[in-house]
Amino acid sequence: MIILGIDTSCDDTSAGVVEGGCHVLSNVVQSQVRLHHPHGGVVPELASREHLRNIMPVVQESLSQAKVQMADLDGIAVTVGPGLVGSLLVGLYYAKGLTYVYDIPMAAINHLEGHILSIFLEEVAPPFPFVALTVSGGHTSLYHVEGYGRYALMGQSLDDAAGEAFDKVAKILGLGYPGGIAIEDSSRDGLKDRIKFPRAYLSSESLDFSFSGLKTAVSLYIKRWHNNQVEADNVTPSDIAASFQEAVIDVLVRKVLMAREKTGVSSVVVAGGVACNKRLRARLLEAASGEDVEVYYPRPEYCTDNGAMIAVAGYHRLSSGERAGLSMDVRSKFPIQDLTPL
């Protein structure tokens, strides 16, 4: 089966063509970073308008790179949530138009399922079951993945997602947008143990995440730092960035290993935009090496939002006989536990 995947969940317009659920024929992403950079974050109205401009050429370029035509497609997969409603509507209604005109089956995809299954775009993928951490600007969640379409939520962000915290701290430090890349770049010149920021582990057994308190602690520290009221001498913005980044990663690594221990699985997958962070990758690999656990990451272009991962999810849903009707609507909040098991 050849599947066209479309994702407009936030600020990237993306489309990808995947064959057999794992062979990428194309993956085209039109970024909006320059548009949103002056605002320090995504402006929903601007994102929606940009999707309208980009959706047709992005899909056409994806088909062209894959060397396929609409008649060659066996299905169309499109993200319907979670995400920004205005952005999601652009992708869904474009997919509906293609489905209606070309009489091609359509699958409605949960964005988080796409992230989890993005690891199957790689040549080496983990066996089921495994623990998956999806960590991005909008989501930080842990799942016990028992098979395609079978995801048990183990923990999630109770307030700010990790990527959201990165964006906000980067904005306070004046490092720019997107915050994840800015913080990571600045951290390379900083001392990760210079400032002792809090780690919110919650209860000893909790697998949930909370980063709002850390964000507030960093914000208050920066105010005192600007007023020369901190005890340490010669603290740099890079020291603050590195210390903040380490506090986030400490929590992520500990919770992932706790989830692994509770489930008894031998494999861990980390996906989503923050999974590109090299420090997170190194720390988790180091921690897992002593526990005989294999850690898997999609390559960076499959970690950030992309159409190829949506096509993978669509392949398995369409293969199981699932079909989305033209009455399908978007969902700004779409818990993965609402998905129909395959």
Of residues 37, 35, 43, the one with CA closest to residue 10: 43
Q: Is residue 270 part of a domain?
A: yes
Res 339: pLDDT: 93
| Block mean pLDDT (10 aa), the chain, length 342 | 98 98 98 93 96 98 98 98 98 98 98 98 97 94 97 96 95 93 96 94 93 95 91 90 98 97 97 96 92 94 97 98 97 93 89
Q: Name the strand (E) or helix (H) holding 314.
A: helix 307-319
184 contacts 245 by C-beta, under 8 angstroms: yes
**How far is residue 6's CA from residue 241's CA, in Å, rounded to a whole number?**
34
Domain span at 8: 2-117+302-338
- What is the helix (H) or strand (E) element at residue 247, kind and residue range? helix 237-263
150 and 231 belong to one structural domain: yes
DSSP-H helix ranges across 108-161: 111-117
Per-residue pLDDT, 141: 97
Same domain, yes or no: 140 and 289: yes
Same-domain pairing of 135 and 253: yes
Torsion-angle region of 228 (φ positive above 0: left; ψ -120 to 50: alpha; else: beta): left
Q: What is the rounded distance in angstroms from the CA atom of residue 315 to the CA atom of residue 79?
A: 13
Q: Which residues pair with 30 in a beta bridge?
A: 13
State whether 163 and 276 are in the same domain. Answer: yes
C-alpha distances (whole Å) from 259 to each of 68, 99, 174, 210 are: 42, 40, 35, 16
What's 49's domain CATH number? 3.30.420.40
What's the number of domains the chain is made of?
2
Same domain, 210 and 237: yes
Helix-strand-coil percent breakdown of the chain, rounded to 5? Answer: 45, 20, 35
pLDDT given for residue 40 in this prediction: 87
Which of helix, strand or coil describes residue 224? helix
Residues 190 and 315 in one domain: no
